[in-house]
Amino acid sequence: MASAQGPRVVADNGLDDAPKLDWLLVPGGIGTRREVDNARLLEWLRARAATAERITSVCTGAAVLARAGLLDGLRATSNKAVFSWVQSQGPNVTWVPGARWVHDGRFSTSSGVSAGIDMTLDLIAQHVSADTSEALAKAMEYEWHRDPSWDPFAKVWGLV
């Protein structure tokens, strides 16, 4: 399948033959509007999340997790430009509008793409080391925002 930008991605495994996953990342983007109604995907996510150590999402991937019921009773966030749509996918989720990312138990959700990088660096610091996260940020020439409550886009989109 081609992305909205054109490049194609070819997966090594499909839903039926995917190996056990320690960590699971649900990406966002315009395709999530279709996938929130994909019953087969939602069931697969529920089954995989039951055994994964960590479940994460970037951007509107949180809508897919929410629609699967995986975020019920948890705190989560998502892309601020489409926050109300994401909220509508999970009425039993405590949505946090003013957060760059949110960790709640085994689940971590982030706002947009750069917030996802910040969340990932934070997870690497927790699970590997802060030095490793620092080295990765430096190698990417990326300015790592370490404060999950620093979210200027919540204000831009009128959420706080």
Active site residues: 59
Contact 28, 60 (CB under 8 A): yes
For 80, the token pair is 């601020």
Q: Which one, of 145, 160, 154, 4, lies nearest residue 82 by Cα?
A: 154
β-bridge partners, 104: 107
Classified as helix, coil or strand, 95 is: strand
What 3-state DSSP class applies to 105?
Answer: coil
DSSP 20: P
Closest CA to 26 of 45, 10, 43, 8: 45
Distance CA 70, CA 159 (A): 24
Alpha-helical (H) ranges within 15-146 are 32-35, 39-49, 61-67, 83-88, 113-127, 130-140
